[in-house]
Amino acid sequence: MNSGLEKHSQTDVVKMLILAFGAEEIAKFGPKSEEKEYLKKAEGAVSKDESLSSIKADIHAESDELSDLSDIHPAWIVKALENETPKIIGIILRWLPSGHVRYILEHLPKRVKMSLPKLVESFAVPTEILRLIKNGFERKFQIPKRNGAGGIKSFQDIGFLKPESIATLFCDLGVHELAMAFQNVEMSGVRVLLNRMNVTSARLLQQRMKSVVDASASLLKDARYTILEVPLDQEDMDKLLVEVGIAAFSKAMKNSELYNQVQLKLDPIMSYVLKRYVDQHVGVNKLAEQRQALILERVSLLLRAGEIE
């Protein structure tokens, strides 16, 4: 369904806002230099009541299509806010969860943070303007409609998982891939890696190695190729597990559609790592079907354990 606002040009929208709420109020949200031009064009246009009705109709038409910005990693939101005015930034922040707000405030330039309006000022803005600003900002992102993990019926549905659940899944897949890769390998080599891990991760890997003894020989062999592609000398073992998991995940992908769904849910660095492995593996791994079945099994287990939702 097309957005109701798409039938209006930017100038038309601003004219309606000016008529509905007054030029003095609307001027705070855009360049002062354009106020006279918009006022001039607004002369002789539809009435204030007609403008307000049109705005409300557009908001209502869009309401069913809005997605939750909490499904976007806050680093991408910071980037999108770079060219917005402090007033707009303050309004967007009031729609975001506290974790996102904290991250954004920590990463915005100091000069911008000093210019942000007080919370009470954001609440003083008419609701119709708030929603127009919110809707316009959300359209900068392609956000899949949120779906609970209980609705994961196919590999493609993984794109509906929450950001934190996707990160948890990557870490779990990293452990699983290492467990498969180390099957039938001398324990002295395995201990080198175990000694670099924290106690929890080391125990988890040892337990997982026992649970994958019946994995197909082809998957075990492919897992060894996976860890040859990932730099194992990384100092941060948590990041290593995630990268191994990302590499394993990419081998299950038959096209890049799923990447397009999850990229904005990931930290940009993690997203770039996934893109690198996607370009390398998508559509070429003969074990994609087996790997998809394995990943869906891990999703089901993590769901039952309450580790993802």
Q: What is the pLDDT of residue 174?
A: 97
Question: How far is it, in rounded angstroms, from Cα 145 to Cα 123?
Answer: 27
Inter-axis angle of helices 35-42 and 10-21, nearest 10: 80
**Letter for the amino acid at 17?**
L
Torsion sign (Cα): 213, 215, 218, 223: negative
Output the CA torsion 198→199→201→206 (10° steps).
Answer: 130
Whether the Cβ atoms of residue 38 and residue 18 lie closer than 8 Å to each other: yes
The pLDDT of residue 47: 54
Contact predicate 30/37, CB 8 Å: no
Residue 147, Cβ density class (10 Å: 0-12 exposed, 13-18 middle, ≥19 buried): middle
- Is there a contact between 157 and 151 (Cβ–Cβ < 8 Å)? yes
Listed as ranges, residues in the chain with pLDDT below 50 are 1-8, 32, 46, 55-67, 120, 148-149
CB atoms within 10 A of CB 83: 7
Instruction: Look at residues 95, 69, 65, 92 and name the one whose alpha carbon lies nearest to residue 81.
Output: 92
| Maximum Cα interatomic distance, the chain, rounded to a whole number of Å | 83
Domains annotated on the chain, with CATH: 1-65 (no CATH), 67-143 (1.10.220.30), 149-304 (no CATH)
